[in-house]
Amino acid sequence: MTVYVVQEKPGVDMTDALRFGDFQELLPRKDQLVISSKPVIHALRKKLKDFSDEDYILCLGDPSIIAVVAAVASDLNRGRFKLLKWDRRLEKYYPVEVNIN
């Protein structure tokens, strides 16, 4: 199982997310979507090529990039992906399954 970290965010404790798998950072923190999203989408397709039902997306970073990561993961995995959502009250991540079909 892999936890795809959209963009690492300094100061955010991601320790609890390790129980869902090993981390793989998708994009550097400085990356942003600018006029063309094609270069970012191309890079994400390469890094997410093995994305499966066993993997998770950790939604940290630029919201527009998070949306693109979810779209690419969904496209590569038959409309399915899982997110890790932070619960502030319990101070832990919990999985959210999405199936757009």
Q: Note the pLDDT of residue 31.
A: 61
pLDDT per residue as tens, the chain (101 positions): 999 999 988 888 999 999 999 999 998 876 666 567 888 899 999 999 999 999 999 999 888 889 999 999 999 999 999 999 999 999 999 999 999 99
Between strands 22-25 and 56-58, the pairing is: unpaired
| pTM reported for the whole predicted model | 0.91
